[in-house]
């Protein structure tokens, strides 16, 4: 039964996308200092950016969870997360170079808004794609 779910093209693509975005999320939170320090940002500012990233992301996760409960469009939301994350991190480097703290703060907040919900959305999507299989098995693989 589980082999049949793994042969599902959508599940394999979702698993790869979830893994990639989860790695981006974890990597960004771990390497904040090496990203921001070369541009002259202080450790206090870097810590503030990390906090903003997480807090805005948690609020976004709550909003996305409520939206998914009302209208289960996992694939659409997953695609929005992919495109939004790409755009936010692509614009972060020019924002860092420009040196405007407000612009950097808004960019980091928007990056958190689109990237952090990958955890609940990705896990829920995987459970929907592998429905006959118990959610605990799917969560364990993810």
Task: Give tens-digit pLDDT for 72-122.
Answer: 888 888 888 889 988 998 998 899 888 889 999 999 999 999 999 988 888
Residue 2 — pLDDT band, cuts 50, 70, 90?
Answer: very low
pLDDT-derived band at 138 (thresholds 50, 70, 90) equals: confident
Structural domain for 118, as ranges: 2-141
The two three-digit tokens of residue 124, written as one number: 């829920």
The string of pLDDT tens digits covering residues 29-49 is 888 888 899 898 999 999 999
pLDDT in tens, 44-70: 999 999 999 999 999 999 999 898 889
**Residue 109 vs residues 2, 32, 37, 82: alpha-carbon distances, Å:** 38, 14, 18, 16
- Please provide the DSSP assignment of the chain as one string: -HHHHHT-HHHHHHHHHHHHHHHHHHHHHHSHHHHHGGGT--HHHHHHHHHHHHHHHHHHHHHHHHHHHHS--HHHHHHHHHHHHHHHHHHHHHHHHHT-HHHHHHHHHHHHHHHTTHHHHHHHHHHHHTTTS-HHHHHHH-
Say what the pTM is.
0.81
B/e letters for 56-69, b = 16+ CB within 10 Å, e = fewer, are bbeebbeebeeebe
> How many structural domains does the chain have?
1
Mean pLDDT of all residues belonging to the chain:
84
């Amino acid at each position: 039964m589980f082999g049949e779910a793994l042969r599902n093209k959508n599940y394999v693509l979702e698993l790869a996308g979830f893994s990639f975005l989860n790695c981006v999320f974890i990597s960004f939170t771990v390497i904040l200092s090496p990203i921001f320090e070369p541009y002259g940002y202080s450790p206090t500012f870097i810590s503030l950016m990390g906090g903003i990233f997480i807090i805005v992301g948690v609020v976004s996760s709550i909003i996305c969870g409520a939206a998914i409960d009302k209208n289960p469009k996992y694939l659409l939301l997953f695609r929005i997360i992919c495109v939004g994350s790409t755009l936010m991190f692509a614009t972060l480097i020019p924002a860092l170079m420009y040196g405007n703290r407000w612009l950097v703060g808004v960019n980091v907040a928007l990056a958190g808004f689109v990237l952090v919900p990958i955890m609940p959305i990705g896990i829920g999507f995987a459970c929907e794609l592998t429905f006959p299989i118990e959610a605990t098995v799917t969560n364990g693989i993810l």
